[in-house]
Structure formats: structure tokens, C-alpha cells
Amino acid sequence: MNRRTFGLRVALGFGLCVTGLNAAVAQPGAVAQASETTRPKVRLIATGGTISNHTGGRLTADELLKSAPALDRYVRAEGEQFANVASSELTLTQWLELARRINDAFRQDPELTGVVVTSGTDTLEETAYFLNLTIRTDKPVVVVGSMRNPSTVGYEGAANLLEAFRVAAEPSSRGKGVLVVLNDEINAAREVTKTDALRLQTFQSRGYGVLGVVDSDRVVYYRTGLKRHTSQSEFDVSSLKELPRVDVIMVYQGASGDLIKAAVDRGAKGIIIASAGAGATSGTQRDGIEYAVQKGVFVVTSTRTGSGRIAPSRGPRQTGGDERTDGGYRISAEDLAPLKARVLLMLAIAAHADGAAVQRMFSEY
């Protein structure tokens, strides 16, 4: 190629660049409009928690959106204030209302790609699992929070929120159930638990591991859960007014069965036994369990160890199993932690399930 030909090509290329720039300047709205229509639409439904709890008040949903860096690069974000309280202050009635609100949002706006829910971390895993069982869509619902508040040096809430929006907007997030996003990690609502009172890496899925990660370039998934959830769930809370009382009783050395009897007498419809090891009780708890069973109360055996599976019984035994005894049922929690076993049992009882159906639910969910 001679110098003259090279010079002509350079000039032509430069002219095309200038023409393109002039076109963009002449029609600035065209580029902005294309970007606006192609970005996925994601709604923030804020319930409060540490992520919004700054000194002197709480950040609103709109203020949280403004705090997330470069959010407009990824989504068309909109905010909605559902509540603004600590997670432990959310009531079971509000759980029902929240599930209905999210279901309504997806039904009323087909353009909505996903929903992000802020929550305090203390009971985040319970709220997330409840939504995992009651949201009736395969579109992403992401629960997010923070361990530090906005007034604290090192506040990670804005980064967590941005990552939650990115996960909710990610097409490969569909069909994976309700997700929990903190500390650059994506965990399944069914499996994740808070493992430390203070550290940022508190939310872990122990033996199961993360579903994926949120990196600077993209959202990456490594696996997916196989248990039933969301669009495959049989639980319909659209007209449910309240959830039945279910209590959790811890097993410890020399424990009294009186606490179990008292819970039954005060109206508990179900008892979750956080057993020692693979189903052991202590003290007089066995008497308390028998009392509950005779009163027609579901007794679900889980483990306090943090992981491990309690297998259903294939015959009469003292703990676990699905055999009927005087109108009540003994159920195995499978691998569900006590707090999440409680959530599932409340919904099972509200659905008027019998003993065999409840055991099936614990196996499938």
C-alpha cells in the first residue's frame, strides 16, 4: 500500500467517525432512548433493616436507589416502600402481605424483569425462604441486606444493593428460586443461613456452597438447586389471613418436656424439635413430644447441628417418621434447618395437609 492510498483510507475513516459523532450530537435522544428500552426493569421493595438504618433515621426506598453506584448502567430501577423496620419486627401477617405484593407486581406489570427485597439480616433467611415457597413466578426475586449501617465506615449496603439488582436483571437467574445476595455471593434461600453475628461473610450455605458470584464483568452461576420452589410451589397465600402458630424447641442436656406441653396448651399447631445430633432428645422432652402428638399437633424433628439430614421413619420410633399416633403426626425435617422447617410447617398446616402430605412436602421442598 502506497502512502497516497494509506492517506486516503485514514481520511475516509476519520470522516466516517466525524459523521457518526455529528449524528449522535444531532439526535442525542436516540441513543438514550435505545438504552432506556433495552435495560431490564427491576423493582426495589424495601422493608427496612440495617441496610437503611442510618443515624437519625432510616433511608427510604428512593434514597437506597440513589446510593447504589451506576445503577442506571444495568437496570431501569423503581422503588416501593413496603415497610421500614428491623427484620425481627416484621410480623407473619406482613410476610403474607409481602408475598402477595410481589405476586401482584409481577402480574400487573409483565415488563417487570425481577424484584429486589431489602431485609434486615437477623431474620433474612426466614423471610427469603417464606418467599421461596409463596412467590408464584420463575422471574428472579433477590433478597439483600447489609451487616453495617449507612453511618458506619465500611458500609457495604450500596454495593450489595447494586449486585442484587444485577442478579435480578440477569436472564440466567430465572427459575432458580428466591436468591440471597450479599458479599459478592449468590446463595439459595432454602440453603443459606446467617453464621456470624458481625462478619460480612456471615451468609453461607455450608456444605452446599454458593450458587454463584457477582463479579465486576458479569454474574456467574456454578450450580442450581433441585428442590421445589416459587412457580412450582403448591402454596397459595392469596387469600390466607394468618399463619398457624409453630414453635421451635431446642434440645439440650436435661431439658424439660414442660416447654413443649406449654406451647401446645398455648395454641401451637406444630412443634419443631431442634434435636441433638440426628434426632436425640434429652430430659423429659420425650414425654412432651408424646403429649403434643396425643393433642393432634405436628412434631417435626430437625437437627441443631447446622447441617445433616433427618431421614423419615419406616416404622414406629421415638423421633422422626410419618406414622400417626392418636391424631398427631411425627415428621422428619429432612435437611431443613429448624427455622426453615418452621416456615414450611406453617404453610403445610395452613394448607390443611395430613401427616403423609406434610412428610412429602419436607421431602420435596
Grid coordinates belonging to 122: 437477623
pLDDT at 35: 60
Grid coordinates belonging to 1: 500500500
CB 333 within 8 A of CB 272: yes
Q: Spell out the alpha helix ranges (H) of the chain.
A: 3-26, 28-38, 61-67, 92-108, 124-134, 157-169, 258-265, 285-294, 338-350, 355-364
Grid coordinates belonging to 299: 412434631
* Element containing residue 249 per DSSP (H, E): strand 246-250
pLDDT at 328: 56
CB 133 within 8 A of CB 347: yes
Grid coordinates belonging to 104: 401482584
Q: How many CB atoms lie within 10 A of CB 285?
A: 25
CB 60 within 8 A of CB 84: yes
Nearest CA to 302 among 312, 288, 292? Answer: 312
Give whole-number Cα distances, 42 to 102, 164, 241, in Å.
12, 10, 28
CB 147 within 8 A of CB 202: yes
Nearest CA to 271 among 253, 254, 286, 252? Answer: 286
Rg (CA), the chain: 25
Q: Is the pTM here over 0.85, yes or no?
A: yes
| From-to residues of CATH 3.40.50.40 in the chain | 246-364
CATH of the structural domain 36-232, one choice from 3.40.50.1170, 2.40.50.140, 3.30.70.3270, 3.40.50.300:
3.40.50.1170
CATH of the structural domain 246-364, one choice from 3.40.50.300, 3.30.70.141, 3.40.50.40, 3.40.50.460:
3.40.50.40
| From-to residues of CATH 3.40.50.1170 in the chain | 36-232
DSSP 173-192: GTTS-SEEEETTEEEETTT-
pLDDT at 278: 95
CB 249 within 8 A of CB 283: no
* Element containing residue 77 per DSSP (H, E): strand 76-85
Sequential pLDDT tens for the chain (365 residues): 444 443 434 333 433 333 333 333 333 333 343 366 789 999 999 999 999 999 989 999 999 999 999 999 999 999 999 999 999 999 999 999 999 999 999 999 999 999 999 999 999 999 999 999 999 999 999 999 999 999 999 999 999 999 999 999 999 999 999 999 999 999 999 999 999 999 999 999 999 999 999 999 999 999 999 999 999 999 999 999 999 999 999 999 999 999 999 999 999 999 999 999 999 999 999 999 999 999 999 999 999 999 999 999 765 444 444 344 344 589 999 999 999 999 999 999 999 999 999 999 999 99
Q: How many CB atoms lie within 10 A of CB 151?
A: 10
pLDDT at 258: 98
CB 264 within 8 A of CB 114: no
Using CA atoms, how far apart are residues 120 and 314, in angstroms rounded to an integer? 40
Catalytic machinery residues: 50
- How open is the CA angle 116-350-364, to the nearest 5 degrees? 70
